[in-house]
Structure 1
Amino acid sequence: MFKQEKAKQVKENSKEQNKISQGTKITGNIEAKGCFRIDGHVEGTVKTPGKVVIGKDGFVTGELSCENADIEGKFNGKLKITGTLSLRSTAVIDGEAVVARLAVEPGATFNATCTMRGGVKAIHNERGERKEQEQSA
């Protein structure tokens, strides 16, 4: 019961849209319940259970922790993405990335160490017995 309520609350909160406009610079830590679009400059930590979009003019220096990220601009620091990290052709990434899935368009610059953490996947051995194994990409 509590899991359903929490999942519903996270889903409702993730509909909220936060935006940092072009020409805005924020220094410090940001924690939000909803999604984020960053077209300005952020120095610090950005943490949300939702999606983060860094626009073409956006620049983040520090740490980004979210479910999914779609990056068109620049990022320098540590990425912690529990879902999919999508890098558009204009993206420039420097630093470290821990992701579940990675999608990179041709032209993107990805100068980072990358660790992929998958979910648990059921596999069967030669005798047909089920065994759990961590997915790796």
Structure 2
Amino acid sequence: MGIFSRNHGVKSQSSATTLIAEGCTINGHIRVENRLQIDGHVEGQIEASNQIKISESGYVVGEITTDRLIINGEFEGTCRAAHIEILSHGSVSGTIYSDNLSIETGGKFTGITNPSEKMLSKYQSPDLEGSDIDRLDADPLETGRLDPSHSSQNISDLEDPDSESLDEEKHQPTFINNASR
């Protein structure tokens, strides 16, 4: 059997896992076709089409994009994955974009969670950018949703006759809490 024989015993690419061993440090952009296991230290951008696993000795700072992310070590940064698992020794600090997040007892997460960006794109349209939908929390006077020329008498016409007004003599607007009904 020669070095180039077909029966050499090498795994096919479809079942291979790339390993970054403990004690190894990598800085930069990593892209793998299938699975990646990180036992060492990585700083930068990491992409894996199938799965990334950060083992207990693993430490990652940067941005991760994958289908499944399993964290039993430390991660700081932004991750995007369909499924994210933070195991009992896992620690995540940063921003998560996922629709499926699980944290085992002992696992730690500090940061912000968001729905996956695929879901966001379904609900956000470029033609809505700059419209009032982007300013729902803004001051109504600034967005033009409340016309300051309307007097408090117009507002008080909408009041419940059983509610109390704050200052009837000065015709100050009265806000009514209808939630208790």
Please give the range of the TM-score, normalised by the shorter of the 2 chains.
0.7 to 0.9
Q: Does 1:29 align with 2:29?
A: yes
| 2:82 aligned with 1:99 | no
**Richer in helix (by share):** 2
> Which residue is equivalent to 1:61?
61
> Unmatched 5+ residue regions in structure 2?
1-11, 124-181
- Runs of 4+ aligned residues of structure 1 deviating over 6 Å after TM superposition are none
Q: Deviations over 1:16-55 (max 9, x none)?
A: 2100000000000001111000000000000011101000
Percent identity of the aligned residues?
25
Secondary structure (helix, strand or coil) at the match of 1:67 reads strand
Aligned to 2:70: 70
TM-score with structure 1 length normalisation?
0.74
| Amino acid in the other structure paired with 2:58 | G
State the 1:119 CA deviation: 7.8
The one-letter code of the counterpart of 1:101 is N
Contact 1:100–1:118, Cα closer than 8 Å, also in 2: no
Query: Match of 1:18, SS?
Result: strand
Q: Which runs of 5+ in 1 are unaligned?
A: 1-11, 121-132
How many residues are aligned here? 110
Residues 38 and 54, structure 2, Cα contact 8 Å, conserved in 1: yes
Report the CA distance shift for 1:14/1:68 in structure 2 as closer, same or farther (over 3 A). farther
SS of the residue aligned with 2:15?
A: coil
CA spacing shift, 1:13–1:66, aligned 2, 3 Å: farther
The one-letter code sitting in structure 2 at the alignment partner of 1:15 is S
TM-score by length of 2: 0.57
Summarize the alignment of residues 1-137 of structure 1 with structure 2, pairs less than 5 Å apart.
14-81=14-81, 83-117=82-116
Task: State the Cα RMSD in Å.
Answer: 2.0
Higher fraction of strand: 1
Residues 97 and 117 in structure 2, CA contact (< 8 A), matched pair in contact too: no
Mapped to 2, the partners of 1:91 and 1:108 lie a distance apart of 5
Q: CA deviation at 1:14?
A: 4.8
